Amino acid sequence: MSVRERVGHVFRGAAIGVAEAVPGVSGGTIALVTGVYERLIASAGHLISAVRYAVTDVPRKQGWARSREQFRQVHWGVIIPLALGMLPGLLLAARLLEPMLEEHPEQTRGLFFGLVLASVLVPVSMIGRPWRGRDVFAVVAAGVAAFVLTGLPSASIDPNPVVVLLAAAVAVCALVLPGVSGSFLLLTVGLYEPTIEAVNDRDFGYLAVFAVGMLVGLTLFVKLLQYLLEHHRRVTLAVMTGVIVGSLRALWPWQTEERGLLAPDGNVLSVVLLLVLGVAIVTAMVVLEQRRLRRAAVDVTQEESPQLPTHH
């Protein structure tokens, strides 16, 4: 992998980190748009298996063979740059986006509405044609479920360690599931502001409990998602498409504090312009990613093509 590709993965990781800090925007969606989603899921699955084999095999004196084999299958050239980009992106978003949402909520949601709306094209294109009745049903059912869930009013609960751990375990699933926003789930259970404050104030006690919850959630969820993508790819992608479409409700620019939807009223021009900007940004990202994949495919073909002997 070239240095240019690694630097690109750092910026992709930063974009995923920013998305995870924004209620209504899924880091999984950004990973899908930037073309690293399936490698991310596969690598997470192999990493979890490697740790599991190390914990079970070594005490029984069965060696490290199975664990090493799983570690070798992790896409380290993708995972490490993504991780290096995600943390700064998350910290920057936690610092800058919260005041933007408070001072300009309609315009900010309009921008992110456009980003997520355009990203729907990615899983749709991955499903391919022709669409079957089962695919359409999965999209509609997942879309309705996401629409209803994103309309639930925010709760207010005591952020004790058990609650934080359980909330983190659920919210981290959104990191790997396109269309589901981890920040929005935290907002729904009343833990979004305490978590952002913990990040900004460097509350390492809170963050340590949150990290343990994330680890538990990833361990339980990633292997299931990896299995579904390998054995039920079309339906899984259809469900992702429906979830992304339904989750747009959370980003509708005009809504009440209780998440009731309102008709457009005020700031319409600025919201529409930012929405179009969001669509343009994601469209450009998708086009660039497709060009990169085509170039990579051409390079592989050229490397594998046998060299014809030259005659003198």
Q: How many CB atoms lie within 10 A of CB 307?
A: 5
**Tens of pLDDT, residues 43-98:** 888 888 888 888 888 778 777 888 888 888 888 888 888 888 888 888 887 777 76
Cα dist from 133 to 65, 144, 216, 262, whole Å: 45, 17, 35, 33
**Tens of pLDDT, residues 221-250:** 777 777 887 888 888 888 888 888 888 887
* Unique residue bearing structure tokens 């992304």: 244
